[in-house]
Amino acid sequence: MSVKNLPDQKCQSCDKCPYCEICLPGKSPTSSDLSALNNIIDKRRGLNKGEILYKAGDPLQRLYAIKSGSLKIYSLSQAGDEQITGFSISGEIVGFDAIFEKKHKSFAQALENTAICEIDYAQLSRALYRHQEMNMRFMRLMSQEISVKKELLMMISRETAPQRLASFLLHLSEAQERRNLSPDQIKLTMTRYEIGNCISLSVETISRLFSRLHDAGIITVRGRYITILDQTMLRDVKNGNLCQAAKSENTP
């Protein structure tokens, strides 16, 4: 591979790390929390595209905070094919589902070149009960993940194919906005197959829906580059008000 590895390096100090407030969002940590953070965050590490961060069954040694890039989180079915349960982007922490049995329950793979912080789990668990603020942050992050998974469940259960894809795009759009990027210019880091797998649709359906949204003038599609032309209409699609099918010609 001609892709050069991002350099591994020890984090100097979390208060100087520009990603720290991303990893642990909210109020700035107290100084005692900060020194604890410096101890438990081992080092910065670079992942090449396609590299696997952890596998289901691996003993839990670290959690990981994503500084930049993105990961896909997936499990394997009994038949051996993958089921994506979500995509994680910068600012998120992955691996929480490993805490229960002290071994990873999912796979995490880099969708692009990605930078992460390794969080030593043994040190973390010792530190948490001494630092209430940090403790609560981690509880909140886990709580949030539970909510997000319930929302995904709800989306797959209740929404039609066009609604799901619209929801998916709007999620990406909102994520960009939170990071102060344009909410309308989206660079997909995952394949059509991976999108479909995550929201429970076939590749062909994803492709057809992109075309349909394009034809309706709602988005522009150029490979992995999506431009949202009309946020309002996209929201209408999400709400099931539009673009249910291309056969609205006959509606009197």
Partner DNA sequence: CGGATCGTTGAAGACTATCAAGTTATGTGG
Partner DNA sequence: CCACATAACTTGATAGTCTTCAACGATCCG
233 binds DNA (CB under 7 A): no
Site map for DNA, 211-230, x if CB under 7 A? x---------x-xx------
Residue 157's binding partner out of a copy of itself, DNA, none, with CB under 5 to 8 Å set by partner kind: a copy of itself
Out of 202, 227, 241, 248, the only residue in the binding site for DNA (CB under 7 A) is 202
Closest among 48, 67, 69, 52 to 190, alpha carbons compared: 69
Give the residues lining the site for a copy of itself (CB under 8 A). 75, 77-78, 83, 85, 96-100, 105-106, 125-126, 128-132, 135-136, 138-147, 149-150, 152-154, 156-158, 197, 200, 239
Residue 140's binding partner out of a copy of itself, DNA, none, with CB under 5 to 8 Å set by partner kind: a copy of itself
Shortest gap between Cβ of 201 and DNA (angstroms)? 4
Shorter beta-carbon distance to DNA: residue 91 or 196: 196
Beta strand segments in the chain, E: 9-10, 41-47, 52-54, 62-68, 70-76, 82-89, 93-94, 107-110, 114-120, 185-187, 219-222, 225-228
Beta strand segments in 168-224, E: 185-187, 219-222
Shortest gap between Cβ of 66 and DNA (angstroms)? 20
How buried is 221 (Cβ within 10 angstroms: 0-12 exposed, 13-18 middle, 19+ buried)? middle
The rounded Cα 146 to chain-centroid distance in angstroms is 14
Give the residues lining the site for DNA (CB under 7 A).
1-3, 49, 160-162, 188, 191-193, 196, 200-208, 210-211, 221, 223-224, 244-245
